[in-house]
């Protein structure tokens, strides 16, 4: 008798754990689908005022990045800021001061450094 009662109780627990007798999950309601927008609209034509920007000369941009009497150096694979400063005979502090936006541990190959004059 106890054995039957134990099996009946175990069976009831299994059915309850598996969701037996539970209510059904309600069906999702119909969602509103957004209407696509018109992505093929005509591009605006630039006005005459937009094209009146002053032209920059190439010498002006080079003068802005290179200090008087200084030069530039393009970073190569394996370069460190210390090795570059030794190569050009300048102090590491001077090289860092000439390149304030360059993080010495995050220099990338191809980056251009400003080498200050000695």
The predicted pLDDT at position 58 comes to: 46
Domain membership flag for residue 36 = no
Domain membership flag for residue 116 = yes
Number of domains in the chain: 1
Domain membership flag for residue 42 = no
Domain membership flag for residue 97 = yes
Domain, as residue range, for 87? 71-118
What is the pTM (predicted TM-score) of this model? 0.44
Q: HEC profile for the chain?
A: CHHHHHHHHHHHHHHHHCCCCCCCCCCCCCCCCCCCCCCCCCCCCCCHHHHCCCCCCHHHHHHHHCCCCCEEEECCCCCCHHHHHHHHCCCHHHHHHHCCCCCHHHCCCCCEEEECCC
Model pLDDT for residues 32-64, shown as the tens digit of each residue: 777 666 666 666 676 665 555 555 444 444 444
């Amino acid at each position: 008798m106890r054995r039957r009662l134990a099996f009946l109780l175990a069976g009831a627990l299994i059915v309850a754990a598996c969701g037996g007798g539970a209510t059904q999950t309600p069906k999702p309601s119909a969602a509103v689908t957004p209407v696509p927008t018109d992505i093929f609209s005509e591009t605006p034509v630039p006005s005459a005022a937009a094209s009146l920007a002053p032209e920059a000369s190439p010498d002006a941009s080079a003068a802005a990045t290179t200090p008087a009497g200084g030069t530039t150096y393009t970073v190569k694979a394996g370069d460190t800021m210390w090795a570059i400063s030794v190569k050009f005979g300048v102090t590491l502090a001077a090289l860092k001061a000439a390149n304030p936006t360059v993080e010495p541990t995050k220099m990338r190959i191809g980056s251009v450094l400003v080498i200050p004059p000695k």
